[in-house]
Structure 1
Amino acid sequence: MTAALRGWPVFPLSPRSKIPAIKQWEKVATTDRDQLQDWWTIDPARNVGIACGPAGLVVIDLDNLRGRASGIWGDEGVHHGREVLALLAHWAGEADPVDTYTVLTPHGEHRYFLAPTDRRLRNTIGATGRRGLGPGVDVRAWGGAVTAAGSVRLVGGSPWVYRPDPRRPDTPVPLPLWLVTRLTPAPPAPPRPIRLRFGDSRVDAYVAAAVRGEAGNVANAIPGSRAIVVFRAAYKLGGLVGADVLDEHVAEHALRDAARVHDGIDGWTQTEARRHIENGLARGRKHPRPIDGLIA
């Protein structure tokens, strides 16, 4: 359990797998010896997962590309995430960040870095989203985990052991500043003022305030809570739709417009926003919100 001895909170993975063997692994990952003994007494063959965020790590997972790279990467002729990261460093005028603790994986390597202490970086997958680094390059930080050295996977029917790269240092170095900058989400754009036409009655004023309030909640939601915030906002406005005091198209437009500030952040898309909005409105319509006290 070398990772835990380094002070990195760990949790069990299923034997010969990288699938977590427990729920809420990021929350319960630990270095506590008694808890670790309990987990691995259940099955000593379990692999070891490292919860990157609590461990203060950012791990860059470099892997083979599946198929031929497209676009600029295809033009550069890259075949592996190592080449992609090296190109990114070259374009940034920086050295390829190879001199850090590195674990060899079945199809590439995990490069470990110390996370910045002044911000929380989160996962990226390939070239997806605004912060994605490129094909074959995944980032594991808060919300992510990696398989620790010493773990075993079956590859082509044969066991493969994750092991430190002997050519690299034994300890992680701080994440280079250019990567910190590249992986830091841009601050959300301030939500655009929602211009909705309502009448002058007390009911209209109440509905207008409700729409603007829920749209503001959506725009200010943080990663990890956005799905429930969007659904809850849609549910509340759906209750006004069900009470026949709010047009459903107005509610949907306001919420979708507010959700656009999250596009591309931690994989969030308008498709996901639309799904939660539609589901919330549909559920809310079935439970109209009473507003009798506002009717003169």
Structure 2
Amino acid sequence: MAFPDSPRTSATGHGRPSRSRSRRRRPAPRLLGAALAAARQGLHVFPLWPHSKTPCLHGKRHCTGTVPCADGHLGWEQRATVDPDLIRYWWTASPASNVGIACGPSNLYVLDLDPAHGEPAPPQWAGARHGRDVLARLAAEAGHHYPGDTYTVRTPSPSEHLYFRVAADSQLRNTAARAGWRIDSRGRGGFIVAAGSRRRDGLYRVVRRPPIAPLPGWLATCFTPLQPEPRPNPVELGATGVSGTAESGAPVSGIRRQRYLDTVAAAVAHAAPRTAHDTLVRTAYALGRLVAGGEFTDEEARAALHVAAQQRRIPAYEAAEAISSGFDRGGLRPRRLSDRAA
């Protein structure tokens, strides 16, 4: 989504919403409060699609190279901010947007401790049922206490995010199981979903509220590579509450799926006057059936529709309601792309 970068100028060269749109009933500004609360802790925030962990600032493929990107494309990490005026403007434009926190600009390193989800632990971690168990063993082996006395958020999965401060020049980046089974991390180049945000499966909640503690030196070594890090792996970026989802499948299937998303999104983006809302609901219904059938993830389908709705200038809060309505009805009739349309 091409969110505005100031109360005066939007990323697409347009200013505030028209008066007729501003009179529509909007959700309470709960997520605005969550974004401002994070910024008061020095955490740089940016908007995510409603009920999602997908950034809704426009992507590189759709960058016009104007206004905020006049000197080159700016992604979520570059545009994340602690400016309360910009935050208020962003979440006034889209009150239902979840809150992302860019770890690098925030001098933040986050441990993502996941449950086993029924998977048996490998022999090295026999008996462990959660990333917490593995972290406790790492601490004991290093001769230290469990590093749990820091700001902590529980995700809907339910994982736990332990927040730690790092130096501004820290080069610690995202990892997947480098320190141990069911322990991922997010640092420079990564982001997390802030407390107060909501996905379809639940809410991100604060479970411990002490100040964010410095990252212990012994713990930092667990995430330090023994050799220069390779280029970021999309699979590593797809863990709970972070910057994306990894998809697999045969190339032909992947091409077909993307073409389908592009086609239905174009139907919304180019809908005739006075038909945009109904077109969005019908398209959300069709995609909701495919999500229920396992053809697409809920997040990638919603993100495609939100991008199309923004291109058609449908307000974000209105788009979120329309998409959810279509998904709820479509979910009752699952199908796959290989099925004949019904």
Deviation at 1:223, TM superposition (A): 5.7
- 1:144 lines up with 2:196 in the alignment: no
Change (3 A) 1:114 1:71: same
| Secondary structure, counterpart of 1:18 in structure 2 | coil
* Pairing partner for 2:226 from 155, 173, 186: 186
- 1:20 lines up with 2:71 in the alignment: no
C-alpha separation between the residues in 2 aligned to 1:32 and 1:177? 31
CA RMSD of aligned residues (A): 2.0
- 1:7 lines up with 2:42 in the alignment: yes
* Pairing partner for 1:102 from 141, 147, 152: 152
Deviations 1:99-120 (A, max 9, x none): 1111121212110001134531
| Secondary structure, counterpart of 2:176 in structure 1 | coil
Show the counterpart of 1:62. 113
| Secondary structure, counterpart of 1:110 in structure 2 | strand
* Pairing partner for 2:211 from 171, 194, 208: 171
Show the counterpart of 1:78. 128
Deviation at 1:176, TM superposition (A): 0.7
Residues 131 and 181 of structure 2 are in contact (CA less than 8 Å); yes or no, is this contact kept in structure 1?
A: yes
Deviations 1:143-191 (A, max 9, x none): 1111101111121xxxx221211xx343111001101122223355xxx
C-alpha separation between the residues in 1 aligned to 2:78 and 2:169? 21
Return the index of the structure with the highest Cα Rg. Answer: 1
Deviation at 1:135, TM superposition (A): 2.0
Deviation at 1:13, TM superposition (A): 0.8
Change (3 A) 1:70 1:15: same
- 2:123 corresponds to which letter in structure 1? G
C-alpha separation between the residues in 2 aligned to 1:225 and 1:81? 22
**Aligned-pair identity (%):** 49
Show the counterpart of 1:217. none
- 1:6 corresponds to which letter in structure 2? Q
Q: Which runs of 5+ in 2 are unaligned?
A: 1-34, 60-74, 234-342
Residues 149 and 210 of structure 2 are in contact (CA less than 8 Å); yes or no, is this contact kept in structure 1?
A: no
- Normalising to structure 2: TM-score of the pair? 0.49
Deviation at 1:33, TM superposition (A): 2.4
C-alpha separation between the residues in 2 aligned to 1:225 and 1:140? 12
Count of aligned pairs:
180
Show the counterpart of 1:115. 166
Show the counterpart of 1:162. 204
C-alpha separation between the residues in 1 aligned to 2:221 and 2:167? 10
* Pairing partner for 1:91 from 141, 158, 164: 141
Q: Which runs of 5+ in 1 are unaligned?
A: 127-131, 189-221, 227-296
- 1:164 corresponds to which letter in structure 2? V
C-alpha separation between the residues in 1 aligned to 2:196 and 2:48? 12
Deviation at 1:38, TM superposition (A): 3.1
Deviation at 1:42, TM superposition (A): 2.8
